[in-house]
């Protein structure tokens, strides 16, 4: 019994420290994603300890941050989706021997992929 509590306490402390380090490294645009991960990790640890009420509180906070991160990354996701479409078009044209069209789609894909990184 004591060994399980000690193990759970160690796991909780380790995850908490790891989360704090991750948050320190995260840039401003990744803030909400890092917060969502931190709260999720803490929630999982409390769940393993049987603390459903504390787990629920942290999952609710994780969800708030995850939704905020989803909104922040929606524009980047849209650019990456467009980049994928253009790469698929480039492949289709390349297989048909249409180098000029394939090149244009590849260049357009590069623009969207770069935009997804905020460049």
- At residue 16, the 3 state secondary structure works out as helix
Which token pair is 84? 């994928």
| 66/58 Cα distance (integer angstroms) | 12
Alpha helix segments (H runs only) across the chain: 2-25, 31-48, 52-95, 99-116
Domains of the chain: which residue ranges? 2-116
Supply the pTM of this predicted model: 0.53
Q: What is the pLDDT of residue 75?
A: 76
Q: What is the pLDDT of residue 76?
A: 78
In tens, the pLDDT along 90-116 reads 999 899 998 988 889 888 988 888 887
């Amino acid at each position: 019994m004591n060994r399980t509590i000690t193990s759970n306490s160690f796991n909780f402390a380790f995850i908490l420290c790891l989360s704090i380090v991750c948050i320190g490294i995260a840039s401003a645009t990744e803030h909400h994603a890092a917060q969502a991960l931190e709260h999720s990790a803490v929630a999982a640890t409390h769940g393993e300890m049987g603390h459903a009420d504390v787990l629920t509180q942290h999952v609710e906070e994780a969800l708030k941050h995850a939704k905020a991160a989803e909104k922040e990354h929606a524009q980047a996701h849209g650019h990456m989706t467009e980049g994928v479409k253009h790469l698929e078009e480039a492949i289709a044209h390349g297989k048909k021997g249409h180098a000029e069209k394939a090149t244009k789609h590849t260049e357009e894909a590069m623009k969207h992929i770069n935009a997804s990184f905020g460049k």
